Amino acid sequence: MSGMRLGVDVLGAGELDRLLTRPWFRRYTYADAELAIADTFGASRSREFLAGRFAAKEAVLKALGTGVAAGIRPRQVGILRADNAAPVVELTGAASARADAIGASDIAVSISHKADYVVAVAIITANGSTTSGGAHALARATVEQISARGAGNERTRSRDG
């Protein structure tokens, strides 16, 4: 792989409401650390947080070129938090092996919420790529542009945490 790979996902938060009440779905989809963070929030913020993580996982899987396939479980794409609450991608198992196979050196993710929708952008840069330092800024700028389209008088809220 050379250059960059892009993945984008848009989700209506309500799409997950029934599934989030099912323990099997939570275990299959989210890493323990993601669930631990979500458990520190109230119900509404937890729903928003988990929807954002789901969209980010989908975006990363698209950038990896697999979608939810090739033996990669969503929980193998952890969307954790840096000290500044920005999302940080942690790959395990088959997801990590896929990243190694395509020569990925950096994965940047940005998540934005607007009304009851969430959009996530993932950018993967290759080993030796001169663009890897700007991947995080590019992901954030891309998600902000997507969120701003059709905003009208609504305020766009970008939250990475």
What is 42-80 written as a DSSP string? -HHHHHHHHHHHHHHHHHHHHHHT-SS-TT--GGGEEEE
pLDDT in tens, 66-106: 977 678 999 999 999 999 989 999 999 999 999 999 999 89
Identify which has the larger pLDDT, 64 or 128.
64
Report pLDDT for 132.
Answer: 42
Report the amino acid identity of residue 32.
Answer: D
Identify which has the larger pLDDT, 58 or 126.
58
Q: Does the annotation list 58 as a binding residue?
A: yes
DSSP E strand boundaries for the chain: 4-12, 77-81, 87-91, 104-114, 117-126
The confidence band for 128, taking pLDDT boundaries of 50, 70 and 90, is low
Q: Does the annotation list 90 as a binding residue?
A: no
Report pLDDT for 126.
Answer: 83
**Domain chopping of the chain, boundaries:** 4-148
pLDDT in tens, 19-45: 999 999 999 999 999 999 999 999 999
Report pLDDT for 157.
Answer: 38
Percent helix, strand, coil in the chain (nearest 5)? 45, 25, 30
Report pLDDT for 1.
Answer: 53
What kind of architecture, by CATH, is found in domain 4-148?
Alpha-Beta Complex (3.90)
